[in-house]
Amino acid sequence: MSATPRPTVFVTRGIPLRAAELLREHVDLRVWGQERNMMPDEIRQAVPGIHGLLVHPPTRVDKAILDAAGPQLKVVGTMSVGLDHIDLRECASRKIAVGYTPDVLTDATAELTVALTLSTCRRFKEAFDAVVNGGWGTWDNAQYLCGKEVKSSVIGIVGMGRIGFATAQRLKAFKPSRILYSGKHPKVYATELDAEYVTFEDLLRESDFVIVCLSVNSGNIGLFNADTFKKMKKSAIFINTSRGVVVNQNDLYEALKLGQIYAAGLDVTTPEPLPLDSPLLTLPNVIITPHIGSATERARSAMAELTVKNILAGLKGEPLPSPVHV
């Protein structure tokens, strides 16, 4: 009697060794072997006949990809919290389970958010450039590269979910005068930080730091635009570690160039990678990192292993450890 064929899983980008070994124990594993992201036509050519698909943003999983994979596809696992790259309704209509990785990247992303906040308010980019380019000033000018402090400031968190709360926890150690947050409704756990639930408009008007930790939906794409930036303090610092699509980058550029806001720190942009000719890269008061919120060894390993567990459960027809509910 012949053995039952093992299911096939395709991975769109390399994953940590431990996670790959765990998959190989149970499936025939195929992995995209190049460093760059796969193009849609390359994915369509790679997925026919697979039973599981492991993806990373920004790789899209849409109707065309699902059609190419075929009706035997049982599960899609994404190494992310964001889900805007997956057509969830199309997956649901085909009874394809989808798993994601909340919680395991919360601490890493919160730490990066704090790092961007501090490096932006203390003008790290300008300071580093001064050292490299021979512009190192002296104490003769008491205002040389003076920045702003978190202490006694007003912190505004837009989206007090897991990452927003973890960010606020860390920033509270710097002794801000107030922590504000906005969202659909108050969060009971925010009272642990004495955080105040306010309207979005009040948060914009009162905050010294506007820190975006939103989950993306159709209602907040382009939320931060010319009108939004005009409502902020001229001394405000804007931080975004959620998704690039919530910001109109042309409007952000104008606001920074015209001094409508003080500075910005971004870990996410549209598109990604950000083109080298982006006007934002010409400004001294912008710090941009290449979407590295979860880029720690611990977080990425945990994300990969949770994604593998999601996929293995889906292949067996069992409940996923971390399912997406549509």
Q: Which residues are catalytic?
A: 291
Residue spans of alpha helices (H) in 122-235: 124-132, 162-172, 200-206, 226-231
d(CA 217, CA 236): 25
d(CA 326, CA 312): 20
Quickly count: other Cβ atoms within 10 Å of residue 235's Cβ. 12
Q: Hunting for tokens 């925010």 — which residue is that?
A: 190
d(CA 276, CA 299): 29
According to DSSP, residue 247 is labeled B
Strand partners, 263: 237
CA distance to 100, 177, 183, per residue, from 160 (Å)? 20, 18, 7
C-alpha of 319 from chain center: 26
Structure tokens at 315: 């292949």
DSSP 51-120: SEEEE-TT--B-HHHHHHH-TT--EEEESSS--TTB-HHHHHHTT-EEE---STTHHHHHHHHHHHHHHH
C-alpha of 274 from chain center: 15
Q: Under DSSP, is residue 306 helix (H, G, I), strand (E, B) or coil? A: helix
d(CA 142, CA 50): 64
